[in-house]
Chains A and B, each alone.
Chain A
Amino acid sequence: MKTEIVTLRINGHQEDVLVRQGQSLLSVLRDTLGMTGTKINCREAECGVCSVEMDGRVVNSCLVDARMAQGSDIVTIEGVQEAEGLDILQQCFVRHGAVQCGYCIPGMIMAARGLLRENPRPTREEIRQGLSGVLCRCTGYQKIVDAVEDAAGTLVQTREGAI
């Protein structure tokens, strides 16, 4: 089987990984590096549980050929938490009861981060659109939307407070 070494920056740490031909970024994260915070389900870009940030964009890591990620900056759910503890989005997910089984939550949080970067003051409708790439079967999305709405408000306030 053809393999090659690919260099990635994952959550700020450089990783040189031996990648098999056709291996996805998701497989590198989970199988090679044992970072299972990023989830697997459909493997065909339909469910969004594998969402990560690649060079600032939210992608379905199951669909990214790991060799194409050479040199990229990757942020996974394991890189979201801040030194002082949970980040605002994580706190809001906990506080609003937005987590049930939790399997979609890493993907949801990555998608929500992407959304709030592009649109810091989304309406509930816009939040729903922004999260529509990630399937959740447990929550009916309502408390997830509550959490993201709250996080957006808090983040805007913090930012404005800082100015």
Chain B
Amino acid sequence: MTVHKRRIVGNRLPRIDATSKVTGAIVYGADYARNGMIHGAILRSPHPHARIRNIDAREALAAPGVFCVVTAADIPSERFGSFVKDIDVFAKEVVRYKGHPVAAVGARTREEAEAALPLIRVEYEELPVVATVEEAMADDARLVHEEWESYEANATLVRRGNIANHTRLTVGDADAAFAGAWRVFEHSFRTNLQHPGYTEPRAAVAEWDQDRLTVWSSTQTPFEQQSTLAAIFRIPASNVRVSVPAIGGAFGGKLRIGVEHVAAALARKARRPAKVMLTLEEEIATGYCRQPAHIRLKLGVDRDLRIVAKAGRMLVDCGAMSGSGVGVASSGLLMLAGPYVIPNLAIEGFAVYTNKAPTGSFRAPSGPQGNFACESQMDMVARELGVDPLEFRLKNIVRDGDKGPTGQEMGTVSVEECLLKAAEAIGWDKPVVEPGRGRGIACGWWTMTGQSSNVFVKVNPDGRVVVNSGCAEIGSGAITGAMQVLAEELGVDLEDITVVNADTASTPFDFGAQGSRTASMVGNACADAVRNLAAKAFPVAAQIMGVTADSCSFGYKAIVSGNQSVPLAQVAASLQSGAGGLIAEGSYIQPGTPFDKDRTSGMVIPVVNSPSYHAHAVDLTVDEETGEVTINKYVVAQDVGFAINPTYIEGQIEGGVIQAIGQTMYEEIVWENGEVRNGNLTDYKMPTAEDAPEVVSILVERAGLTGPYGAKGVGEPPVIEPPATLANAVHDASGVRVTDLPITPEKIALGRVRGN
């Protein structure tokens, strides 16, 4: 890729969908409607664990406005799921969490559908509840899935009873290293259940034409939905079209199927288009949240303050379906190891079933959990040893040429630069004088999801460009970033490009808007398309100019050779009339990262793919009496490889930090005995404009090996370090070490009373 021209990339251009978003013109999944559409509401289990004895829907069917009631009997298939097929559309015999769908009503209006729900009579026989991971791990534990052995599952997983995956990361001989270590430290941590908190509730509209299904849904992964829906309804995938309107935030919460299958079941039975949109209570109680984790970590150091061994255990509470928890128990081990050179590792993870709502792949799944433990411990150990936590980190961090925990090459490593920049910006060297004031720092790494992205690019005879991409825009601006790459390479302006995206019927395959991959993967596919466009356009342009094709290159809206040029529009027009148009496809397939398989067991995510590196630092004040925390300054130094559009990268950092401050300081969905205790926005509080501090973003650009111009994954990392950064600063400011999230004023005040 050429690096000399930087007309579009690297610039703060407005995103391509901004205008339609500020006028209210853009249509989201929640806004979507079809003529004659009915509305669905879901009947959910009132019990955390029970056997269904009988379902009688007669009364509900007779209620005003009701078109149909659907239950498990209306679903042709058994179960689905990405790693383990343990999910049912509706509970068939057993409900496994409070909120488990049992039936759905389709009616003229949403209110009529809701009114009919209590008229469905369901007889339950309550079963004992597995409420916590400890209970689930006990030898005589009741099984959440009695028939777990019969489920189809990914072959890498190591499963047993309530454990959906037992992962292990083993390097060297940790036991021997601990025995020879100078000092050994052990700590335990707990993290909380956080909702992604997207403002658009999950919503889908489904419509059938005989055995052909169309679904409009704000999903991050239309192609995954297509195959899942095909499997659920036992129809060919080509009969399923999934089209994605605008998405009102997702953060991983709209990766997996959520309401699409219910809408499709209702539409199928009622023979009418059907829409399902979740209520806020349903969202909080059954959204795909961040898994809580219980973590134990043991760290051994030698007299030179080098880490000689790390051991640990992470229990991941998946809820009643394993979902992404099996992956969290994999990448979580890499997060627990952290961006350090450690010769001996013995870390294991357990993805555990409990009778609670299924969890999901919330932004950087495993990142905040693992980093909170790893980076809190680094701070605790440094303080016990009486050394500067920054120094202790710098002594042990990975650098260029070092290998990752599973033996992978680490690419271009910048964690030192990030740490030093964050430390400098927060004034790490200057003494803190005010009482109650303190500073904290933490660093980390993160992986980028790879797989493939593909685009079709067409240059119209007027020189404007239409791109078909199978990737949805979830809000981050990553599609704009990818289009900046296209505009740069093709020599057009961003405004010349129209994107048609994420429709399985018309756009080429894309692995989805997930894992910080969109700008890089779609951007790379666009660059590939430009190479293919050149192959078609240059011979035509060369003929017009009387030069050779290999002397041609793309200039500004033109093809140039020496000091001659021919407008791109003219070439496109001539190709349209003579040769079917100036159209090309572009593909990018991310190669896998080699690693040492002998070090892993059960790890479905064994490497930090195309790694990004980051460090956060904060200056805050803790109120002596109330334990209330005020953030004075928050700094992020993030290696983005190359900043395709600094504005939207800052937006990711600012938004991610505030979202993670929510997790760190107050957000927690509280389950007790299989029930949610705080199912509304008054009791589940997310940061408002008043709560949010300003964030200073430092964009470090150490070119990576994967993304266009060296870009690295940007979207997920900002949520990873805030929990540890804030915990470390709270300790610095107040002397209180909080090891279980969230870090509430009560915990700080209590810690102070206890002389923590």
- Chain A interface (Cβ within 8 Å of chain B)? 1, 20, 22, 30-31, 34, 36-44, 46-47, 49, 76-78, 80-81, 86, 90, 93-97, 99-106, 109, 127-129, 131-145
Contacts and interface: CB of A to CB of B under 8 A. Distances in A.
A102 B17 CA distance: 9
B689 A128 contact: yes
Majority SS of interface residues in chain B? loop
Contacts of B19: 86, 90, 94
A129 B690 contact: yes
Q: Which of A80, A99, A101 has the most CB of B within 10 A?
A: A101
Contacts of B17: 99, 102
A95 B14 contact: yes
B474 interface: yes
Contacts of B689: 127-129, 131-132, 134, 136, 141, 144-145
A127 B650 CA distance: 20
Interface of B: 12, 14-15, 17-19, 21-28, 30-31, 33, 64, 109, 111, 196-201, 246-251, 277, 279-280, 474-477, 647-648, 650-651, 654-659, 680-682, 686, 688-692, 694-695
A162 B476 CA distance: 39
Contacts of B655: 100, 136-140
Given A137-B659, A140-B692, A94 B33 contact: no
B475 A90 contact: no
A94 B18 contact: yes
Contacts of B24: 36-38, 76-78, 80, 106
B21 A99 contact: yes
Given A77-B24, A136-B689, 14 more contacts: A22-B111, A37-B24, A39-B199, A42-B680, A76-B24, A80-B23, A97-B15, A101-B246, A102-B475, A137-B198, A138-B476, A140-B651, A141-B658, A142-B650
A108 B618 CA distance: 28
11 contacts: A22-B111, A39-B31, A41-B199, A78-B24, A81-B23, A97-B12, A97-B647, A99-B21, A135-B686, A136-B199, A137-B196
Nearest to A85: B19
Contacts of B651: 97, 100, 138-140, 143
A131 B687 CA distance: 12
B21 A105 contact: yes
B646 to A, nearest CB: 9
Given A86-B22, A95-B14, A97-B12, A137 B692 contact: no
Contact of B650 (A103, A129, A136, A143): A143
Nearest to B653: A140
B200 A101 contact: yes
B99 to A, nearest CB: 18
Nearest to B661: A140
A80 B688 CA distance: 24
A97 B648 contact: yes
A138 to B, nearest CB: 5
A103 B24 CA distance: 9
Nearest to B108: A1
Given A128-B692, A137-B199, A102 B21 contact: yes
Contacts of A129: 689-690
Contacts of B476: 100, 138
A93 B22 contact: yes
Contacts of A145: 689
Contact of A36 (B31, B249, B650, B694): B31
Contact of A94 (B14, B201, B691): B14
Contacts of B682: 46
B249 A137 contact: yes
B200 A39 contact: yes
A135 B27 CA distance: 19
B714 to A, nearest CB: 13
5 nearest interchain CB pairs?
A: A37-B24, A101-B475, A103-B248, A102-B21, A140-B654
Contacts of B14: 94-95, 97
A104 B689 CA distance: 12
Given A46-B681, A137-B686, A143-B654, A41 B22 contact: no
A39 B681 contact: no
A3 to B, nearest CB: 12
A140 B658 contact: yes
A12 B682 CA distance: 35
Contact of A140 (B21, B250, B656): B656
A39 B30 CA distance: 8
B475 A142 contact: no
Contacts of B691: 132
A41 B692 contact: no
A55 B475 CA distance: 32
Nearest to B198: A137
A103 B200 contact: yes
Given A42-B280, A142-B695, A99 B22 contact: yes
A140 B695 contact: yes
A23 B154 CA distance: 48
Contacts of B196: 137
Contacts of A102: 17-18, 21-22, 26, 246, 248, 475
A135 to B, nearest CB: 6
Contacts of B31: 30, 36, 39
Contacts of A128: 689-690, 692
Contacts of A39: 28, 30-31, 199-200, 248
Contacts of B248: 39, 101-103
B650 A41 contact: no
B505 to A, nearest CB: 23
B279 A135 contact: no
A103 to B, nearest CB: 3
B392 to A, nearest CB: 30
Nearest to A142: B654
Contact of B475 (A49, A86, A106, A138): A138
